[in-house]
């Protein structure tokens, strides 16, 4: 009988083949570099072929290693998919979908989707993580999450991921303790009041500043910077200040059911929201069911968008 390497060794070899660096590969595999190196040597010993050329100047795949990497990239994802399929067919093990949500969108929105989806598909459960842009994209890249829910900006590098547009979110001005007449507020009027925003490195902070710079050619000076929409909402409820937040989040939290709590911004501030994912993910067939469900659920909020997905 032919000796077979472990799945862990094969998966970690794929990581090395992609990054071609022992230190980076070990970090991504969440093991020490010495442990990672030992796994690769054990893999080579098992199959009897040198896959990685090592020297004082670094390391690289041998021609045999390049061939093995290409073939393994074809086989291993199919093996993972087969295992997931068998677990679903037998119902022996629930399948977990990991969804990352941009912090400023508020994970409570995805929590509602997850709860409803699980009622329809009891053998699938969803874990929701709240993340900021860089962590969100890195987690998707390293397969720590399966799907990312986020706004996109023009300068945002998201890699070669599939994008499914599912709704347009209206950004409103939330200021429950301010006395503002009417249901609208001009963008330039926002500068007259204390302003609460996200930290400068947050995607929503960049998007908000771009909107204000484009329309009134100025950036608001923040009274305070807070890291979650829930903290921002609480601050505005207790202080005479305002913030720009997704109307959908305020509705989900029942924060805008009373009059004079939110105001529509003039000019209108709308943002398209997307789900990002990899079709090569072995969970893709289940991911697609969830993605289609989210798109259908938000059909009324797509603002005449004719194309919902690029794959």
pLDDT digits (tens, 9 = 90+) for 241-294: 999 999 999 999 999 888 899 999 999 999 999 999 998 888 888 888 899 989
Domain ranges in the chain with CATH number 1.10.10.10: 7-89
Residues 6+ apart with CB under 8 A from 146: 97, 98, 99, 277, 281, 283, 287
pLDDT of 48 over the 90 cut = yes
pLDDT of 69 over the 60 cut = yes
Average pLDDT over residues 46-53: 94
The pLDDT of residue 164: 94
pLDDT of 303 over the 70 cut = no
The pLDDT of residue 104: 92
| Strand segments (E) across the chain | 52-55, 58-61, 95-102, 124-131, 147-151, 162-174, 184-186, 195-197, 222-225, 243-246, 262-266, 270-277
Q: How far apart are CA 50 and CA 220, in angstroms?
A: 59
pLDDT of 86 over the 70 cut = no
CATH number, span 96-155+273-301 = 3.40.190.10
CATH number, span 169-270 = 3.40.190.290
Torsion angle of C-alpha atoms 100, 102, 108, 111, degrees rounded to 10: -20
pLDDT-derived band of residue 30, with 50, 70 and 90 as boundaries?
confident
Domain ranges in the chain with CATH number 3.40.190.290: 169-270
Fold topology of 7-89:
Arc Repressor Mutant, subunit A (1.10.10)
The pLDDT of residue 141: 85
In this predicted structure, which of 80-89, 93-102, 107-116, 302-311 has the lowest mean pLDDT?
302-311
Domain ranges in the chain with CATH number 3.40.190.10: 96-155+273-301
Average pLDDT over residues 2-28: 90
Q: How far apart are CA 80 and CA 215, in angstroms?
A: 49
pLDDT of 142 over the 60 cut = yes
pLDDT of 85 over the 70 cut = no
pLDDT-derived band of residue 154, with 50, 70 and 90 as boundaries?
confident
pLDDT of 192 over the 80 cut = yes
Average pLDDT over residues 70-74: 88
Average pLDDT, the chain: 88
Q: How far apart are CA 163 and CA 274, in angstroms?
A: 6
The reported pTM is 0.73
The pLDDT of residue 88: 60
């Amino acid at each position: 009988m032919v000796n077979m390497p472990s799945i862990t060794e094969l998966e970690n070899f794929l990581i090395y083949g992609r990054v071609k660096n022992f230190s980076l590969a070990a970090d991504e595999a969440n093991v020490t570099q010495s442990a990672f190196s030992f796994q690769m040597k054990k893999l080579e010993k098992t199959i009897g072929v040198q896959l990685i050329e090592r020297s004082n100047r670094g390391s690289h795949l041998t021609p045999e290693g390049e061939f093995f990497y290409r073939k393994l990239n074809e086989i291993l994802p199919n093996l993972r998919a087969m295992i997931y399929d068998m677990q679903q067919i037998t119902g022996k093990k629930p399948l977990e979908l990991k969804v990352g949500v941009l912090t400023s969108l508020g994970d409570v929105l995805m929590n509602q989707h997850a709860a409803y989806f699980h009622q329809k598909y009891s053998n699938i459960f969803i874990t929701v993580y709240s993340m900021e842009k860089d962590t969100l994209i890195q987690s998707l890249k390293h397969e720590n999450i399966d799907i990312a829910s986020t706004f996109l900006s023009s300068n945002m590098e998201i890699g070669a991921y599939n994008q499914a547009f599912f709704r347009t979110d209206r950004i409103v001005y939330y200021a429950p303790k301010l006395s503002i007449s009417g249901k609208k507020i001009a963008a330039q009027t926002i500068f007259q009041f204390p302003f609460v925003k996200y930290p400068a490195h947050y995607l929503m902070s960049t998007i908000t500043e771009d909107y204000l710079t484009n329309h009134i050619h100025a950036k608001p000076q923040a009274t305070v910077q807070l890291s979650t929409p829930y903290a921002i909402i609480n601050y505005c409820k207790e202080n005479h200040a305002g913030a720009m937040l997704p109307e959908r989040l305020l509705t989900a939290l029942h924060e805008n059911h009373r009059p004079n709590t939110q105001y529509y911004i003039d000019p209108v501030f709308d943002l398209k929201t997307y789900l990002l994912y990899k079709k090569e993910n072995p969970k893709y067939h289940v991911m697609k069911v969830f993605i289609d469900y989210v798109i259908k659920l938000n059909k009324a909020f797509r603002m005449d968008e004719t194309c919902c997905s690029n794959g």
